[in-house]
């Protein structure tokens, strides 16, 4: 027989647990909005990855919050952002040192190691992890059109709050937002490169046309004069003066090409 008091206490416990879940969802939603606002305001690759790593590190109080991007060949990745050391921007890492990271990139699935002390794949790094008081590791792939292009790498402290399923889902949402932001930044950079190449090409064409026009006019002027133009005349001119005239000529041509 269930006593009224026990039933009431069970209801209170369930209600309290539900309130905690809703509060966690609220915090996650606010964090997603803040991250989205921050990365949506930038088309710079470095700013995006550093912002995501920092936000996740601060939100969970992590030992490590890093972002890796894949390299061609699949044997190495590049550490492009780190919460604990923002100065790290482009560090090549051998995937053999990170089997959990390699697994996430190869399978495209989130890898979660609840307790690093009891995981056999981390035997080679167990001493260092325990020294840093690491409890768990979570690796979430950053994928674009089904293909992993990188990963978010998170480590919790042993005496910190454990990662829940809701926390993992939240990080997966962040990874999806990061993938889109990086794709937009990549497109913007490519567009800027193409514009730069096109501008440089047009400038070279204008300089070439200005040079041809200048030489044609110069030769016409000398042809109209009946003065000797040969080696003796050239020898009498100083090298410094010739260099000066060439410099002035090229400066004028550049100005003509740019329309200034």
* pLDDT band with cut points at 50, 70 and 90 for residue 256: low
Residues 29 and 64 in one domain: yes
What percent of the chain has a predicted confidence (pLDDT) above 90?
Answer: 22
Q: Which structural domain, as residue segments, surrounds residue 52?
A: 17-191
Establish if 25 belongs to a structural domain: yes
Residues 215 and 177 in one domain: no
Point out the domain boundary residue: 191, 226, 244: 191
The least confident of 87-96, 167-176, 187-196, 232-241 is: 232-241
The least confident of 15-24, 81-90, 130-139, 188-197 is: 188-197
Establish if 6 belongs to a structural domain: no
Q: What is the DSSP letter of 71?
A: -
* Rounded Cα gap, residues 193 and 23, in angstroms: 45
Point out the domain boundary residue: 191, 212, 244: 191
Neighbours of 88 (CB within 10 A): 15
Point out the domain boundary residue: 168, 191, 214: 191
Residues 103 and 165 in one domain: yes
Residue found under tokens 């919050």: 65
Residues 163 and 232 in one domain: no
Q: Does 52 or 19 have the greater pLDDT score?
A: 52
Residues 79 and 147 in one domain: yes
Residues 83 and 163 in one domain: yes
Question: What CATH number is attached to the domain comprising 84?
Answer: 3.30.450.40
Residues 105 and 148 in one domain: yes
* pLDDT band with cut points at 50, 70 and 90 for residue 1: very low
Residue 65 has pLDDT above 80, yes or no: yes
Per-residue b/e over 215-248, b at no fewer than 16 CB within 10 Å? eeeeeeeeeeeeeeeeeeeeeeeeeeeeeeeeee
Residue 143 has pLDDT above 50, yes or no: yes
The mean pLDDT value for 2-23 works out to 66
Residues 183 and 108 in one domain: yes
Residues 103 and 45 in one domain: yes
Is the CA virtual torsion 169, 70, 51, 56 positive or negative?
Answer: positive
Strands (DSSP E) contained in the chain are: 64-70, 76-82, 91-94, 111-113, 134-144, 147-157
Distant-in-sequence, close-in-space partners of 165: CB < 8 Å, separation ≥ 6: none
Establish if 47 belongs to a structural domain: yes
Residue 144 has pLDDT above 50, yes or no: yes
Establish if 2 belongs to a structural domain: no
Number of compact structural domains in the chain: 2
* pLDDT band with cut points at 50, 70 and 90 for residue 104: very high
What does the pLDDT read at residue 161? 79
Residues 52 and 126 in one domain: yes
Structure-block tokens of residue 66: 């890093």
Establish if 4 belongs to a structural domain: no
What does the pLDDT read at residue 59? 84
Residue 108 has pLDDT above 90, yes or no: yes
Neighbours of 104 (CB within 10 A): 25
The SS3 of residue 79 is strand
What does the pLDDT read at residue 69? 92
Establish if 5 belongs to a structural domain: no
Residue 101 has pLDDT above 80, yes or no: yes
Establish if 145 belongs to a structural domain: yes
* pLDDT band with cut points at 50, 70 and 90 for residue 162: confident
Q: What are phi and psi of 162, to 5 degrees?
A: -70, 155
Q: Does 235 or 255 have the greater pLDDT score?
A: 255
What's the whole-number average pLDDT of the chain?
77
Establish if 7 belongs to a structural domain: no
Residues 83 and 116 in one domain: yes
* Rounded Cα gap, residues 51 and 39, in angstroms: 7
Residues 36 and 111 in one domain: yes
């Amino acid at each position: 027989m269930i006593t009224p008091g026990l039933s009431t206490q069970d209801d209170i416990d369930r209600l309290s647990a539900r309130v905690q879940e809703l509060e966690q969802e609220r915090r996650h939603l606010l964090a997603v909005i803040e991250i989205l606002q921050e990365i949506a305001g930038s088309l710079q690759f470095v700013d995006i990855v550093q912002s995501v790593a920092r936000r996740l590190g601060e939100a969970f109080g992590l030992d490590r919050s890093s972002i890796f991007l894949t390299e061609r060949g699949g044997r190495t990745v590049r550490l492009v952002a780190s919460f604990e050391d923002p100065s790290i921007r482009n560090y090549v890492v051998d995937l053999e040192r990170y089997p959990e990271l390699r697994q996430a990139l190869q399978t495209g699935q989130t890898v979660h190691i609840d307790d690093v002390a009891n995981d056999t794949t981390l035997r080679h790094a167990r001493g260092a992890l325990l020294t840093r008081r690491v409890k768990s590791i979570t690796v979430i792939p950053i994928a674009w059109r089904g293909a992993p292009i990188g990963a978010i790498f998170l480590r919790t402290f042993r005496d910190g709050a454990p990662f829940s399923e809701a926390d993992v889902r939240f990080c997966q949402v962040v990874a999806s937002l990061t993938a889109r932001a990086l794709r937009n930044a990549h497109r913007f950079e490519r567009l800027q490169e193409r514009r730069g190449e096109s501008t440089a090409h047009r400038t070279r064409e204008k300089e070439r046309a200005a040079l041809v026009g200048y030489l044609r006019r110069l030769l016409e002027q000398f042809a109209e004069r009946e003065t000797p133009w040969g080696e003796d005349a050239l020898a009498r001119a100083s090298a410094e003066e010739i260099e000066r005239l060439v410099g002035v000529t090229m400066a004028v041509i550049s100005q003509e090409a740019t329309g200034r």
